[in-house]
Amino acid sequence: MEHNWETVVNDLAQIKVTASFDNEPVLIEGAAKGFRCIGVGTDAAVFQSLAVPEYAYKVYAEGKLDKLEAEVYARIGSSAYFSYCYGAYDRLLVLKYEEGPTLFDCLLQGIHIPEQVIQDVEDARGYIRQIGLNPRDIHLKNILLQNGRAKLIDVSEYIKPGNDFRWEHLKKTYEEYYPIIKGTPMPFWLLETIRKWYHHWNRYSSTFDGFMRIVSEQLNYRK
């Protein structure tokens, strides 16, 4: 695979990825023939080659190269809970393409999220701690649903210290509030509003439980 990287880099060089402010997704300018965008995050965009669809290319925004994940993936190795990294070149990472909707997509489409997914993430986090890394930045768009199981993507923050509590909050929300909306497609505007609220949740409440009561009122209003 490595001998094809230079060609891929040259093709994807036609695409400019720019970071946004306030935790918003990156902006993408330009296009590369034979590639399609399959994911957009706050630090990078992911592209798939139509000719070689088994690979995914994560292209980082300028100034976000410190989040290159090759070292983290090298330490993770081969795991059922994570994708596999073939290597890094310039501003991109070469990953195994992973199928399946994100949990964010599941909420949009009303796809059931089984409890096994929650347990898989718990087990994956335990494995990450065992190898001396720190499982952070785990949220709806970083977890894929594959045949009823979880696959975690975006491990860029696992080398950072501290707990951002994103997974703890998500797990608590699943346990206490998911039964309210299970099987019901959620509108995009509502999920995006909650995402933005969460980024600044202490503006709305002094505690996470208080914040979730506000969200729950919105969900009940939708019923």
What is the C-alpha to C-alpha distance for residues 94 and 56, in angstroms, rounded to an integer? 6
How many CB atoms lie under 10 A from the CB of residue 174? 17
What is the C-alpha to C-alpha distance for residues 186 and 169, in angstroms, rounded to an integer? 19
What is the C-alpha to C-alpha distance for residues 155 and 158, in angstroms, rounded to an integer? 6
List 137, 154, 164, 209, catalytic entry: 137
Instruction: Please give the sequence-ordered ranges of beta strands (E in DSSP) within the chain, or none if there are none.
Output: 16-18, 27-29, 35-40, 44-49, 55-60, 85-89, 92-96, 143-146, 149-152
| 209 tagged catalytic | no
In degrees rounded to 5, what are phi and psi of residue 140?
A: -55, -35
Report, as residue numbers or ranges, the catalytic residues: 137
